[in-house]
Amino acid sequence: MNTTLIYTLPQWFIFAAVFGVTYGWIEKKRTFRVIGAITFVLLGIFSLFILSGDFFTSGQHIAHTEIVDKKDGSDIPFQAKLLPAYLSFVLSAVLALVAIFFDLRKSKKYRWFIIFAGLTALYGFFAIAGALKSF
């Protein structure tokens, strides 16, 4: 898979999800809130696909002797720097599923879960941005 797709596609998912949730929240339209939350879930599915593939296999990018020799972490491969972002996207998807459940049951608890899902996804966004700075 193309490296550019690995770090640009999640950013578009995040923008679409945050826009949908925010618009649905401001205009009090449940449909847009749920679509935004479903976008977080789709991002989590994409992240699981990437994590289960061989993209983050450490044997491809760095040998065991290099890990032992470089203890400062300065030569961490770009793909390894993206790993925390993808883990946060999976967590965001789980939180969004809980938010969808509460939103469809018309419980106001969905607000907390969608806020935490958005913040978790934004953490992933900034983790990608930080990895790109060092790329």
Give residue-wise pLDDT tens across range 37-76: 999 999 999 999 988 887 765 555 555 555 555 555 566 7
What proportion of the chain, given as a percentage, has pLDDT over 90? Answer: 52
With 0.85 as the threshold, say if the pTM is over it. Answer: no
User: What is the maximal distance between C-alpha atoms in the chain?
Assistant: 56
Is the C-alpha dihedral spanning 108, 113, 116, 122 positive or negative? negative
Task: Give the pair of three-digit tokens for residue 115.
Answer: 């806020």
Nearest residue to 19 via CA among 37, 43, 7, 6: 37
Contact 46, 10 (CB under 8 A): yes
- The distance of Cα 74 from the centroid of its chain, to the nearest Å, equals 24
Asked if 79 and 127 count as a contact pair (C-beta separation under 8 A), the reply is no
Average confidence (pLDDT) over 117-134 = 90
